[in-house]
Homo-oligomer: A and B are copies of this chain.
Amino acid sequence: MGDAPGSFPRTAAVVGLGLIGGSFALALRAAGAEVLGVDPDPAALALARERGAIVSGAADLAPVAGADLVVIATPLERVADVAVAAARRMRPGAVLTDVASVKAPVVATVQAALPAAVRFVGGHPMAGNEGRGMAAADAALLRGRAFILTPTSRTAPEAVAVMEAVIGRLGMRLVLLDPVQHDEFVAQVSHLPYLLSLALDRAIADDARTVGGPTMQEMTRAARSPAVMWEAICRANRDAILRALDRFEAELAAVRRVLLAQG
C-alpha cells in the first residue's frame, strides 16, 4: 500500500492495455503512480511504454507482485479468471479491482477464490468510445465520468478507501452500488442503448443513410463499437438486458399507439 489505508497507491499494475486499461494507465501515471503493465500483445506493451502509460511491462502476471493496486482490464470473459490468478501473486494488503461492464458474476467468482490477504472490490468506469486498443486510450475519457464500485458484505473497507482516493485523484465521480443493482442499471443505460443502436443501424436502408444528419450519426455510433466485446456483455448480463428490453418495448408500443391514433 501507500502510506496509509485509503491513500493513493505508489505502484499500480494494469492488466490489459486496451482502450480502458490504457486510459487508466495514462491517468494513474499522470496522477503520480508508478504504473506496470501486463498484456499478451508485445505491440500494446511497446505502445504503452512509448506513450508513457507504463514504466515497465510483461506478457505474464509477474508485475502484479510488486503493486499496491492491481486493475484487471482484460476482455470481460477473462476478467474473473485473471483477477483470481493475479490475487494469488499479490502482496498482502494490496487492493484488487477490475473494470468489467457486468459485475454480479465477476464479483461472485472473484470473492469465492480470493486469498484472505488481498482486498478486492469490483469496479466499473462509465466511460469509453468506439475506439479500440492502447492507440485510442486517453486519460480524458475518464474525467468527469462515474466510477461505480460494487462492494458486498465481504469487501474489505480498505479496498473501497483506496479506490475512493484513486477515483477522486482521477477526477471521476464515485458511485456505490450492489453488484446486482449495477447490472440492472447498466443494462438500461448502456447495454440496451447499444442493442437499439445496432437494430437501428440495420433498419436504415443504404440509400436512406446517405441523407442522414446528426441524429442518425449519434444514434448509430454505439453500433460501431467492437461486436465481440458486446457479445460477451450480452451473454454475461442477458437476463437484466431482457428486462430492460421489455421496458423499452412497452414504451415503444405506447409510441406506436399514439402514432396510430393520429390516423
Contact = CB atoms under 8 A, between A and B. Distances in A.
A215 B190 contact: yes
Interface string A155-180: 00000000000000000000101000
A222 to B, nearest CB: 5
A127 to B, nearest CB: 6
A254 B203 CA distance: 11
Given A238-B259, A256-B245, A200 B193 contact: yes
A137 interface: no
A4 interface: no
Interface string A115-138: 000000000001111000000000
A245 B245 CA distance: 16
Interface residues of A, number: 64
A205 B177 CA distance: 15
Contacts of A212: 126, 146, 189-190
Q: Which of A128, A184, A204, A250 has the most CB of B within 10 A?
A: A204
Interface in A196-224: 196-200, 202-205, 207-216, 218-219, 221-222
Contact of A255 (B198, B210, B215): B198
Nearest to A185: B208
Q: Which of A148, A195, A199, A207 has the most CB of B within 10 A?
A: A199
A262 B238 contact: yes
A188 interface: yes
Contact of A214 (B129, B234, B242): B129
A78 interface: no
A127 B219 CA distance: 15
Nearest to A256: B245
B188 A205 contact: yes
A219 B188 CA distance: 12
9 contacts: A126-B213, A175-B210, A177-B211, A190-B216, A192-B200, A199-B254, A203-B248, A218-B221, A245-B252
Interface of A: 126-129, 145-146, 148, 175, 177, 182, 184-186, 188-190, 192-200, 202-205, 207-216, 218-219, 221-222, 234-235, 238, 241-242, 244-245, 247-252, 254-256, 258-260, 262-263
